[in-house]
Amino acid sequence: MNMKPRKPIPQPKKQVQVDLNEAETMLCEDCGNGVYIPAFFLKRLSPLMSPTGKEALVPIQVYSCGDCGKVPDKLKQEVDVSS
C-alpha cells in the first residue's frame, strides 16, 4: 500500500484562532456605536494606471458605523483615502 502522508493544508494567516473575549470591540469614534455595516470605497483608476487601459472603478470594502455612518479613520488609512 502506498499511503503518502498528506501535506498539511496551509491555513490562511487571517484565520488564527483568537479569543475574542480578549479582543477590544471597536466603537465608533463619533457616537460610540459598536455595530458596523459593510460599505465600499470606490477607487477610480485612471486609464494610465488601469491594466485595461480604460478608466476603472475598484470597490474596496470597509465598514461604516451602523448608526451615524462614519467610517473609522483606521480603515480609511488602510484604504488610503485622502479626505
Binding site for Zn ion (CB under 5 A): 28, 30-31, 33, 65, 67-68, 70
- Please tell me the number of Cα atoms within 13 Å of 68 on its side-chain side: 11
CB of 60 to Zn ion, least distance (A): 20
66, 36 contact by CB (below 8 A): yes
| Residue 49 or 68 with smaller CB distance to Zn ion | 68
CB of 78 to Zn ion, least distance (A): 18
| Residue 34 or 59 with smaller CB distance to Zn ion | 34
Please identify which residue in the block is written with the cell numbers 498539511: 8
37, 63 contact by CB (below 8 A): yes
CB of 77 to Zn ion, least distance (A): 18
